[in-house]
A and B are shown apart, each in its own frame.
Chain A
Amino acid sequence: MTPFVLRFLEHVHGSLGWLAALALCHPATLLRRPRRRALAVAAAATALTTLVAAIGATLYPAYRATVKPLLYAASSVAGDAFERKEHLGVFVVVLAWVGLLSHWSACNDRSTGSARSLARVAFVAYAAAAALAVFDAALGIFVSAHREF
């Protein structure tokens, strides 16, 4: 990939990352009530989060080879922040998918005990994913303030 494409994808990743973080807050808010149905919202937020993660994974090998050493040289705090951001980003995607599958299961069957538990799982997963995604996006700004492609 050319430096122009890498820089472009980096900016798209950053902007969509914030959008995904805010999108995850929507199902997290709606699913506080276990009987609430928000399948389309949850699916859209999860799809957006997955897209952002896919762009991040595409950028990662080049970033690791060229930018990460310079980032650590500039500031070890920023380098560690980048590492935290990557690990938490992976976890956000996993949580979003668990939330979506749990909500998909729970919103079609509200009567049984397992449905109530799965509705609770969906809320926990989306609430944590939203909180971590916002934190992750803030770390992204902090890191990009130090070094970019």
Chain B
Amino acid sequence: MLTYERVEPALARPLGARTVERKATEPLVGRARIAVMATLGCVGFSYAYMVLHALHVLKRDPGFTARLSSIPLFQTCLGASVCGVLASALGACVKLGGRWTSRLPTLLALTIAVFVVEILLFP
């Protein structure tokens, strides 16, 4: 039987239904945003770690990491974490479902490959 609700479901929605629907999807968008920020933070952390590690191998440790810890490994970790947090802020600007989001797996895979090669070649 054809009812008004079946023919025009959008119009038959009670007032405020769209608002409720949007509120229901907000946590999912928030989770996706956190995941994108974490991935970009990991990429930023990795590249910062590689740079700080290379500087340590060359015995040119930057001054700000020396203040973080007395142990070189912890200096590199903490310094790279600071850079990772800054890089994760970029995730707040990335459009979800856009071109950059679809490239995240490739970006992460590339970062992993570069990181592993550097650590294996220059321990």
Question: A and B from one assembly?
Answer: yes
Name A's B-contacting residues (CB within 8 A).
Answer: 57, 60-61, 64, 80-81, 83-84, 86-88, 90-91, 94-95, 97-98, 101-102, 104-106, 108-109, 112-115, 117-118, 120-121, 123-125, 128, 132
Judge whether A114 and B31 touch: CB under 8 Å: no
- A86 proximity list for chain B (CB < 8 A): 73
Asked if B104 lies at the interface with its beta carbon under 8 angstroms from chain A, I say yes
Residue ID in chain B nearest A122 by CB atoms? B35
Judge whether A83 and B123 touch: CB under 8 Å: yes
**Chain A interface helix/strand/loop/mixed:** helix
Judge whether A95 and B71 touch: CB under 8 Å: no
* Selected contact of B101 from candidates A84, A87, A90, A113, CB within 8 Å: A113
Judge whether A95 and B101 touch: CB under 8 Å: no
Nearest CB of chain B from residue A97's CB, rounded to whole Å: 7
- B39 proximity list for chain A (CB < 8 A): 98, 101-102, 118, 121
Nearest CB of chain A from residue B73's CB, rounded to whole Å: 6
Q: In the assembly, what is the distance between CA of A113 and CA of B116, in Å?
A: 29
Q: In the assembly, what is the distance between CA of A87 and CA of B35, in Å?
A: 23
- B101 proximity list for chain A (CB < 8 A): 113-114, 117-118
Contacts A105-B32, A105-B35, A118-B35; A95 near B42 (Cβ below 8 A): yes
**Chain B interface helix/strand/loop/mixed:** helix
Judge whether B35 and A102 touch: CB under 8 Å: yes
* Selected contact of A87 from candidates B34, B53, B97, CB within 8 Å: B53
Asked if B86 lies at the interface with its beta carbon under 8 angstroms from chain A, I say no
Judge whether A121 and B123 touch: CB under 8 Å: no
Q: In the assembly, what is the distance between CA of A112 and CA of B71, in Å?
A: 44
Nearest CB of chain A from residue B110's CB, rounded to whole Å: 10
Contacts A102-B38, A102-B39; A90 near B77 (Cβ below 8 A): yes
Nearest CB of chain B from residue A115's CB, rounded to whole Å: 7
Interface centre among A98, A117, A125 (most CB of B within 10 A): A117
- A123 proximity list for chain B (CB < 8 A): 105
Contacts A83-B123, A95-B112, A104-B35; A60 near B73 (Cβ below 8 A): yes
* Selected contact of B34 from candidates A60, A105, A125, CB within 8 Å: A105
Contact flags B45-56 to A (C-beta < 8 A → 1, else 0): 110010001000
